[in-house]
Structure 1
């Protein structure tokens, strides 16, 4: 399948590791030019070096705190200055913060919303004019499947992620006339540094495959934890020309564990 990503310019937030880094790598492998951004400059340099070692390609790195609107504008401006255009935005930056409702103080609510919701709002708003100039574009907001069916003690993450889903749908309605597609991927259990720490603490005698299948797997229809490449595959498809008639939708990447479509 031809994805039509060669020569496209993409920004991936939260791309120094995990799903963001894997997505950036796959976009580069498909011929796209990519900007990596995250808070840590050293981690970004390591990510850029990894992509170069895998592909031979250079990427632009922009250390930035996307909870700040001006930092979001700076990412977009530096990308345009460097590459001359923007076609793709992947709003991936985020952390997991899960607590009982009464224990969540106001500052944690604000921090979580600033990162996961307003970060996506500010980067998207600054990007859209440049997408219009090139005749369209694609935005993917990375959210979480638990935002659809929040369990107890899952705040503020599930609220900010649910807001990200609503943002996605509303943006897709507003921007369709400009040929700008907006979708969200709802992440379930995907291999991460945090999950690996839990594995080493709970069952260090098991291999990753044994832990994924035998300890966590029974709670997931596909019987295992997902890999970052599997999430990146879906994101890469959604921002590609192969998904040119897909907008305003959510795709669960959760091995079937979610309770909703």
Structure 2
């Protein structure tokens, strides 16, 4: 399948590791010009080196805190100054934060919403004028399946992610006339540094595949997902192959979510 990504310019937030890193690598392999940003310079440099080694493609790194609107503007301005245009934005920055309602204080609520919701708003607002000038573009907001059916002690993440889903749908309606598509991927149990630490701490005698199957017994596909599997879906959504897909959410969870 021809994805039409060669020469397209993409910005990915939270891209020094995990799903953001895997997506940057996949886009680079498809010929896109990629800008990755995160808060730690050393992690970005290591990610860029790995992408270059695996794909032969250099990526641009920008240190940024997406909770700050001026940082988000700087990322987009620097990208356009470097490449002259912008076509793709992937709002991936986020952390896992799951507590009961009474455990979450006001500052924690604000910090989580700033990172996962306002970070996406700030970068999108900065990016949209450039996408419009380019004749269109694609935005993917990375959210979570638990935002659709929040369980107990899943705050503030599930609220922030649910807001991200609503933002996605509303943006798709407002931006469609500019040929800007907006979608969200809802992440389930995907391999991460946090999950790997749990594996190495609790079950060091197991291989990753054994641990994945053990933990994945409650998942219909029977295992933990890999970051590359999420990256493949995101790459499709920002590609020309998904040119008539907008305003939707796609679960990447091995079939575990009780809601579409």
Cα shift at 1:217: 1.5
* The 10-residue stretch of structure 1 (140-149 or 48-57) with the greater mean CA deviation from structure 2: 48-57
What value does the CA root-mean-square deviation take over the aligned residues? Answer: 0.5
Q: Which residue of 2 aligns with 1:138?
A: 138
Residue in structure 2 matched with residue 249 of structure 1 by the alignment? 248
Aligned to 1:47: 47
Q: CA deviation at 1:206?
A: 0.7
Deviation at 1:200, TM superposition (A): 1.4
Once the two structures are overlaid, the 10-residue window that deviates more, 230-239 or 55-64, is 55-64
Tell me what 2:110 maps to. Answer: 110
Aligned-partner SS, 2:258: coil
The CA deviation string for residues 47-87 of structure 1, in whole angstroms up to 9 with x for no partner, is 01111111221111000000000000000000001011000
CA distance in 2, matches of 1:44, 1:234: 23
Instruction: Give the aligned length.
Output: 260
Name the residue aligned to 2:98.
98
String of CA shifts for 1:156-215, please: whole Å, max 9, x gaps.
00000000000000000000000000000000000000001111122111111001102x
- Secondary structure, aligned partner of 1:58: coil
CA distance in 2, matches of 1:145, 1:7: 32
| Unaligned stretches of 5+ residues in structure 1 | none
Distance across 2 between alignment mates of 1:87 and 1:171:
16
2: distance between equivalents of 1:43 and 1:205? 29
Per the alignment, residue 196 of structure 2 pairs with 196
CA distance in 1, matches of 2:68, 2:216: 38
**TM norm structure 1:** 0.99
How far residue 114 of structure 1 moved from its aligned partner, in angstroms, is: 0.3
Show the counterpart of 2:231. 232
Q: Which runs of 5+ in 2 are unaligned?
A: none
Match of 1:61 in 2: 61
- Secondary structure at the residue paired with 2:143? strand
What displacement does 1:218 show?
A: 1.0
**Partner Cα distance (1:55, 1:221) in 2:** 33
Comparing 170-179 with 194-203, greater Cα deviation is found at 194-203
Per the TM alignment, residue 230 of structure 1 is displaced from its structure 2 partner at its CA by 0.2
User: Residues 101-136 of structure 1: CA distance to partner in whole angstroms, max 9, x if unpaired?
Assistant: 011000000000000000000000000000000100
Q: Which runs of 4+ in 1 moved over 4 A?
A: none
Cα distance in 2 for residues equivalent to 1:95 and 1:119: 12
Counterpart-to-counterpart distance in 2, 1:105 and 1:116: 17
- 197-206 vs 26-35, greater mean Cα deviation: 197-206
The alpha carbon displacement at 1:45 in A equals: 0.4
Whole-angstrom distance in 1 between the partners of 2:53 and 2:204: 31
2:16 & 2:71 partners in 1: Cα distance? 17
* 1:195-246, Cα deviation, whole Å (9 max, x unpaired): 01111122111111001102x1111000000000000000000000000000
User: Aligned equivalents of 1:199 and 1:238: distance in 2?
Assistant: 31
Query: How far did residue 151 of structure 1 move?
Result: 0.3
CA distance, structure 2, for counterparts of residue 260 and residue 82 of structure 1: 42
> 1:50 & 1:82 partners in 2: Cα distance?
21
